[in-house]
């Protein structure tokens, strides 16, 4: 997507999102306390690292040994809703404005995750990471890491303005109706990977 088009969409969206962003932050503060935000290091285009800003949606509850409880046990009903409708991702609009992220692209991942992908990780990072992406509208949390990577690689080599708009519209549908795995698109990505000789790099490999 051309940068000027992306910025136009982002700043127009901000006019409508500024109130939801403020309300979400205030509600999370009342529900979980401070801090409202947290930062994480992620990998961007050409393997360049940057920090993303997200709403904190988990408590700091620990077990009797002082260890943090599993993620699922540290989420409240409200924070689960925030994550489902993706309001926790809204602060990343700042990263889009800075140019670290794009509106559409593979999601920004942790350095150790990209490292586990090997050469495929370098291929995935040929574009800026996005607020939403092809794997997010085709199953997201219901997909394995390998399936997400296959869809992301397919997107990197088939991206277009039309596809980006298609993903934006599909993202709205996911927020409203929930996430569903699209087996046809996974099969399409797998067929393409075989055609270009990348499929064998998925064999007997663990993706964290």
Q: Structural domain boundaries of the chain?
A: 3-202
Specify the pLDDT at position 133.
97
- pLDDT of the residue at 132: 96
What is the structure's pLDDT at 204?
Answer: 73
Q: Per-residue confidence of the chain (208 residues) as pLDDT tens digits? A: 889 999 999 989 888 889 989 999 999 999 888 899 999 999 999 999 999 999 998 887 777 887 878 877 888 888 888 888 888 889 999 999 999 999 999 999 999 999 999 999 999 999 999 999 999 999 998 999 999 999 999 999 999 999 999 999 999 999 899 899 999 999 999 999 999 999 999 987 777 7
pLDDT of residue 184: 97
The alpha carbon torsion through 125, 142, 52, 60 (nearest 10 deg) reads -150
pTM over 0.85: yes
Geometric angle at alpha carbon 176, from 134 and 136, rounded to 5°: 15
> What pLDDT sits at residue 115?
94
Q: What does each C-alpha distance from 178 to 103, 104, 166, 175 come to in angstroms?
A: 20, 19, 17, 6
List the beta bridge partners of residue 38: 54
By the 8 A CB rule, do 140 and 108 touch?
no
């Amino acid at each position: 997507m051309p940068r000027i088009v992306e910025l136009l969409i982002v700043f127009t969206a901000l006019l409508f999102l500024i109130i939801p962003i403020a309300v979400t932050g205030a509600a999370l503060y009342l529900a979980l306390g401070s801090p409202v935000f947290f930062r994480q290091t992620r990998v961007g285009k050409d393997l360049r690292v940057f920090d993303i800003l997200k709403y904190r949606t988990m408590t700091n509850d620990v077990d009797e040994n002082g260890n943090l409880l599993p993620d699922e046990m540290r989420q409240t009903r409200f924070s689960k809703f925030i994550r489902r409708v993706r309001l926790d991702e809204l602060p990343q609009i700042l990263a889009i404005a800075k140019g670290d992220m794009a509106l559409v692209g593979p999601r920004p991942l942790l350095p150790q995750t990209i490292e586990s992908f090997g050469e495929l990780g370098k291929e995935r990072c040929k574009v800026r990471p996005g607020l939403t992406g092809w794997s997010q509208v085709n199953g997201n949390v219901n997909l394995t890491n390998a399936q997400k990577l296959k869809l992301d690689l397919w997107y990197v080599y088939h991206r277009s303005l039309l596809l980006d708009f298609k993903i934006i519209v599909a993202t709205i549908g996911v927020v409203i109706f929930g996430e569903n795995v699209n087996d046809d698109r996974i099969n399409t990505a797998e067929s393409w990977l075989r055609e270009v000789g990348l499929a064998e790099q998925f064999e007997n490999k663990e993706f964290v």
